[in-house]
């Protein structure tokens, strides 16, 4: 048996592939375009592992995906690949439409053709799992209950609108063609290998570099933070036991305003890597102009996945954020390569003898 993962060189995808191969002998075909966000250095520990087959390519490349499916005959396809950064989607939405909507559509078409031709038993066992976000539900007022699976879709950013569109396509491919799909809508993740354009890693690397810590607006926007390895375990659980055509909200029951997150990161750095001048990293916090259309609050009601599939996060915010800060302190080379863009050169050098199979 084999699974095919898209976007497995990104933040969540690479954590998923690493965890999967640490726990199972089932091979992973990892299809990733290696955009600025894809980093094979995340997967360096898998070099030489025959159960990891990396293929550089686009999820919307029908010819390539058709060939990979025919060649490797996976029992499941898990779609992590996406353009994922809200701020980038505001500056340039086109790539988001291209990858998140058209790319997902083309992937669904390849998978449908492959799945339709499978022998009956394999067809019944096959799964397409689509990894999505809580941002499709829009924004919550302070007193609103958290997002449940039957919340209206009200996406507000080009990113969340493109993810919402992809969720609708996945749903329609189930209802119209019977494709055995599962969708997860998860809250904000944090943890190792997180690209330092997102809040938590940006604050860690800027703090250590003596730079400003830019907090948008009043810093009172609320997100519901989940340690990335808990997201990965939820995806494994949904893949194993999720009901076909269903969506599962995944969250950490950790609602916090951004400013509290930044202060917690500063306090951990003060403890683990105190500044020579004895001042706190919190003195670097700077309030900056707010993001246009900034969603005020996200919160996830994760009771369905707990009730139906027995999934619960293993980490609290306290344990997860400490592990995360420790990881960034222990991996300055990863940070330096990402910041300089030299991970691209690193990949060229490191993988020179290992041509991708496509």
- What is the token pair recorded at 317? 């915010």
The stretch near ligand NAD (CB under 6 A) out of 65-73, 78-86, 325-333, 338-346 is 78-86
Q: Is residue 140 at the binding interface for ligand TYD, with CB under 6 A as the rule?
A: no
85-114 mask for ligand TYD (x: CB under 6 A)?
Answer: -x----------------------------
Q: How many angstroms separate the CA atoms of 282 and 261, rounded?
A: 11
For ligand NAD, the closer CB: 158 or 281: 158
Chosen from ligand NAD, ligand TYD, none, partner binding at 139 (C-beta under 5 to 8 Å by type)? none
Q: How many angstroms separate the CA atoms of 232 and 346, rounded?
A: 27
Q: How many angstroms separate the CA atoms of 339 and 114, rounded?
A: 40
Chosen from ligand NAD, ligand TYD, none, partner binding at 186 (C-beta under 5 to 8 Å by type)? ligand NAD
The stretch near ligand TYD (CB under 6 A) out of 32-40, 194-202, 241-249, 320-328 is 194-202
Identified binder of ligand TYD from the candidate list 33, 127, 198, 236, rule CB under 6 A: 198
Q: Is residue 299 at the binding interface for ligand TYD, with CB under 6 A as the rule?
A: no
Q: How many angstroms separate the CA atoms of 102 and 48, rounded?
A: 33
Q: Is residue 13 at the binding interface for ligand NAD, with CB under 6 A as the rule?
A: yes
Chosen from ligand TYD, ligand NAD, none, partner binding at 81 (C-beta under 5 to 8 Å by type)? ligand NAD
217-236 mask for ligand TYD (x: CB under 6 A)?
Answer: ----x-x-------------
Catalytically active residues, by annotation: 134-135, 159
Contact 140, 297 (CB under 8 A): yes
Residue numbers 279-298 binding ligand TYD by CB under 6 A: 291
Q: How many angstroms separate the CA atoms of 76 and 333, rounded?
A: 34
Q: How many angstroms separate the CA atoms of 81 and 108, rounded?
A: 13
Identified binder of ligand TYD from the candidate list 153, 216, 327, 351, rule CB under 6 A: 216
Identified binder of ligand NAD from the candidate list 103, 155, 191, 201, rule CB under 6 A: 103
Residue nearest to ligand NAD (CB): 10
Instruction: Please classify residue 14 by burial: count the beta carbons closer than 10 Å to its beta carbon, then call 0-12 exposed, 13-18 middle and 19+ buried.
Output: buried
Q: Is residue 195 at the binding interface for ligand NAD, with CB under 6 A as the rule?
A: yes
Residue numbers 47-76 binding ligand NAD by CB under 6 A: 58-60
For ligand TYD, the closer CB: 223 or 229: 223
For ligand NAD (CB under 6 A), the number of binding residues is 30
- Residues contributing to the site for ligand NAD (CB under 6 A): 6-7, 9-13, 32-35, 37-38, 58-60, 80-84, 99, 103, 131, 133, 163, 186, 188-189, 195
- Residues contributing to the site for ligand TYD (CB under 6 A): 86, 188, 198-199, 202, 214-216, 221, 223, 258, 291
């Amino acid at each position: 048996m084999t699974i095919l993962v898209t976007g497995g060189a990104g933040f969540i995808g690479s954590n998923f592939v690493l965890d999967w191969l640490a726990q199972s002998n089932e091979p992973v075909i990892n299809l990733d375009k290696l955009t600025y966000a894809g980093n094979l250095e995340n997967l360096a520990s898998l070099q030489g592992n025959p159960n990891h087959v990396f293929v550089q390519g686009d999820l919307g490349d029908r010819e390539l995906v058709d060939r990979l499916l025919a060649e490797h005959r996976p029992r499941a396809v898990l779609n992590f690949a996406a353009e994922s950064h809200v701020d980038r989607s505001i500056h340039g939405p086109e790539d988001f439409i291209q990858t998140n909507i058209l790319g997902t559509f083309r992937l669904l078409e390849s998978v449908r053709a492959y799945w339709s031709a499978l022998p009956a038993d394999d067809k019944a066992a096959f799964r397409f799992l689509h990894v999505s976000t809580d941002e499709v539900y829009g924004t919550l007022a302070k007193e609103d209950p958290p997002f449940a699976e039957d919340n209206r879709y009200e996406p507000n950013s080009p990113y969340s609108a493109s993810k919402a569109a992809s969720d609708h396509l996945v749903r329609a491919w189930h209802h119209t063609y019977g494709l055995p799909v599962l969708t997860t809508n998860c809250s904000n993740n944090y943890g190792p290998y997180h690209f330092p354009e997102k809040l938590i890693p940006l604050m860690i690397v800027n703090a250590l570099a003596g730079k400003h810590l830019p907090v948008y607006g009043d810093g009172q926007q609320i997100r519901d933070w989940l340690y990335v390895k808990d997201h990965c375990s939820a995806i494994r659980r949904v893949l194993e036991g999720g009901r076909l055509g269903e969506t599962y909200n995944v969250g950490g029951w950790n609602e916090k305003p951004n400013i509290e997150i930044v202060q917690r990161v500063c306090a951990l750095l003060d403890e683990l890597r105190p500044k020579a001048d004895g001042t706190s990293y919190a003195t670097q916090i700077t309030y900056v102009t707010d993001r246009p259309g900034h969603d005020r609050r996200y919160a996830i009601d994760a009771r369905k996945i707990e009730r139906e599939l027995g999934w619960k996060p293993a980490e609290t915010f306290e344990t997860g954020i400490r592990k995360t800060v420790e990881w960034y302190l222990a991996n300055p080379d990863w940070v330096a390569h990402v910041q300089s863009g030299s991970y691209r050169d690193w990949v060229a050098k490191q993988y020179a003898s290992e041509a991708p199979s496509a």
